[in-house]
Structure 1
């Protein structure tokens, strides 16, 4: 089991380790030729990280620890500016871009809290896929069933594997349609997609201004809550797990289990029965609006429209440098006109209102984060048909919550040694504190920490 941020911080406080030792261990795992480091990181900041670790140890010796992440190695998705370094966004298009002049807002908050920034992590090009494949910088494999090399999930692929393989204590990711929660599910981690407006995105290369959100991948719900508090500059209390008998949760048969494989369906059902046995009230709701989303987004949706606005000039001059599977999706936005876009935003507002009304009496909605276990990298590299079918299915459930402008945790619900399966604990916008509280209770009942 991965150590939590609190456990690592206690070890620092007790003198059982130092920030330098933790950072050196993380760097050694990154550099291990038998490991995944070469495809997990696009850039490693060894000298900078060790300098930050030494500074943290000096401050701690003087009684000046800055936060619960002070001195801990944190990886940064290669979508965020880090001063002095190129933000490639997983693309060859930006390989020779100018180095950033300043930290992105979330990176600055982590650095001010004492995090040791260890490197930029690999990702799907421009964050536009839930699978994690990258033809430019390689694709790291999920920690489970490594002999068969299964996808890590995307787009925050390197972020997930960096934490799962001990190359970082936590990771900074983004989530436009599940890009924090999907790699968390496939890598056996906990990930949190907050209400988008709570965390500033200055200095982040955008995919969709309408849907982008910023969140952490880590070992536990409490870890995610610590990081969320720093990223949002919100000094809220730590999450508190309510008694099981006070929880009223919802599940639905509308869409979210369609196409689920036997492993995910069985693991999800076992988790629900364990929650019920502990005294949690779980109601089944009909949410027909979920099945309407594919039609609402039939022309490509907000994400394609927003992405095309960002990329249209580069697509004209550097098209041959794009991943063709990414470029083809961005180009769908070319055919969405202003009237379509205005209609989409109006339909979204109506859709959100309808679902918020259905969830009004429940603490959270539960569903599988992803309805299938991770497929192999080779099977998706070999076939466009398999790639796009898997991408649509893997993104489907998380995307519901992005379109809702909601917040959600993905936490492990599988037995040790079995294929990783994520349980999504979701709610509407600004229900973040309630979702973290509820997630902490579920984590305790399922015994995943």
Structure 2
């Protein structure tokens, strides 16, 4: 166990709840640390239900192509915690991470604080001590009361597509959820808004009007669409004819549009906008695995894919991506958390998958048991069974159909375990 792992384990026990949305504890610890959040490079703050990570990856690729140094904060991590904190382009080094976590632990003095809050404070501390041109800050959950929402005057606010998720924390209607996401908008700070359901957009526009925050809205101020093998982006500044995003899936067109709108608001060049769509990398979003034990196990004829989507909108995006691929037998290996709308996630997949093998997420206390996942798949119209682990599931699939397309899906936590074991 590394030095940072031992500290992270201690930090998990500082609050009885994993999630407890409030800004009070965050403001307390930041004050004890000398308010590092006031000394970080200009912030691009990103909220939304789906597409936050992909959109952030594209904005970062575009900025870096122009020579900018970019800090980035994302969650959750897949294989190692260090992935959450990127300093001027590079993942935070182990000694630096251990040192700032220790400093935050000391400043907190044993008081109740959630893991996400204290580690977000650590990220701010790291960002404040490393020179860069921008800070890309991804909301953890919601927006209004998220630990990242202590930035008074970001350079830009970005809201990616909103859908129903995390209802136990954010409310069970799009209107309520949009109210939480719109909480990142700040007075007179420009906002970029991805395609939204009407009821979500109404809430965002009302909040922006109250704050005098100018919005650039998909379908009104900018448009992004696929035409053949090109991405066409258009706004009041003109038209861009770009390659398709290298992140696979039809949904990446709207994520690319959102990223391009943000980059255009920051004055990006033509080279930067092209790099945004062609250079971005984002693991576990319809990622093809090309080497490692699982690929070896599947054999030369099979394809192994990995995706961390976990809500109904994520299921739709995965189904659309699979539906656009050349046809071959398609089998899902799926593990999900017990807090998700499992049947809602699976329903769109029933039209594109030949079977689903349910597994429990290894080492995850909130995993849904494989039997329950299989029952939900059955209700969604999928041919479903169970297996003790991904290896067994893959072995069984290729034994009957060697040239299968196998997608491991249902949770970022499962995707992280797969990347750890198959890295």
TM-score for the superposition, normalised by structure 1: 0.28
What is the TM-score when the length of structure 2 is the normalising length? Answer: 0.29
